[in-house]
Amino acid sequence: MSRTPSSTGFTLIEVIVVIAIVATLLGAAVVGIGALTGARARATLGELGATVRAMYDRAALTGHTCRIVFDLPAGDATGFSYRAECASRALTSAVDREQTLKDDNQARLDAAKRTPRSRGTSTLLDVLAQEKDRVEAAAKFSTFTAPEVESRRVTGVKLSVWTTHQRQPARSGLAYLYFFPQGAVERAQLTARQGNSVWTLTVSPLTGKTAVVDGEPEIPKS
């Protein structure tokens, strides 16, 4: 009389299921730890620091004014985008820079208010206005890209931008960080928030050197 052996081990399917569950739990744990430590926020500031140093060198070598453009969402929304631009000439007047920021933010608001009459179609006035904005923007600055300087879209991080001509950090809308031909950059503090973690990238105006510090330093008085 033959005896049927009892099955005491795991089948291949059961092993795969267990591995998948463990991988999911480990992934969730890594994400949770990253949010607690602000790993993404700190990494984002590291990338921004490299972009700052590259644009500092670019402006000094070419004799053109350059800038990093930050597009910050309104309210408590996280995520932001940034890109690098350079002008065809030197632009050093603080008054010019402040007026440019005001004009560009107003154009951004106007563009958001212009909605097509029907989905997927635009009126002739809409098209002409958009083309006018595009031509005027291109006349001031044009996008600059290089292996170490690329346009980026960051998610999960809330950024605020302070430079020397501002009383308070910009938390929404457009914000600019300028680099000048004579080897200088606006003094700046870029603060990134991820959950309860806060990190700040400080930018030295004379050398372009950057440093990432824990927390949000007080805005300099002068």
For 36-62, write each residue's pLDDT tens digit.
448 999 999 999 999 999 999 999 998
Buried b (16+ CB within 10 A) or exposed e, 76-94: eeeebebbbbbbeeebeee
Residue 170 to residue 13: CA distance in whole angstroms: 54
Residue 210 to residue 202: CA distance in whole angstroms: 5
109: which 2 tokens? 């608001």
How does DSSP classify residue 164?
T
| pLDDT at residue 88 tops 90 | no
Q: Which residue has the higher pLDDT, 113 or 218?
A: 218
User: Residue 120: pLDDT band by 50, 70, 90 thresholds?
Assistant: low
Residue 212 to residue 96: CA distance in whole angstroms: 30
- Specify the pLDDT at position 92: 55
Mean pLDDT of the 118-141 span: 56
| pLDDT at residue 148 tops 70 | yes
User: Which H or E element spans position 13?
Assistant: helix 12-37
53: which 2 tokens? 């140093």
- Specify the pLDDT at position 29: 46
pLDDT (tens digit per residue) in 1-38: 455 555 556 677 777 777 877 777 765 544 444 444 48
How does DSSP classify residue 172?
S
Q: What is the pTM of this model?
A: 0.68
Mean pLDDT of the 107-134 span: 59
CB 153 within 8 A of CB 83: no
- Specify the pLDDT at position 161: 97
- Specify the pLDDT at position 11: 79
| Dihedral sign, Cα of residue 23, residue 24, residue 27, residue 28 | negative
Q: Which residue has the higher pLDDT, 155 or 126?
A: 155
How far the first Cα of the chain sits from its last, in Å, is 96
22, burial (CB in 10 Å: exposed 0-12, middle 13-18, buried 19+) = exposed
- Specify the pLDDT at position 9: 60
Q: Which domains does the chain have, with CATH numbers?
A: 40-214 (3.55.40.10)
Residue 121 to residue 207: CA distance in whole angstroms: 49
- Positions of E strands within 181-217: 184-185, 188-194, 197-203, 210-214
Question: How far lies 109's CA from each of 95, 102, 172, 194, 203, in Å?
Answer: 21, 11, 12, 27, 29
Residue 202 to residue 220: CA distance in whole angstroms: 11
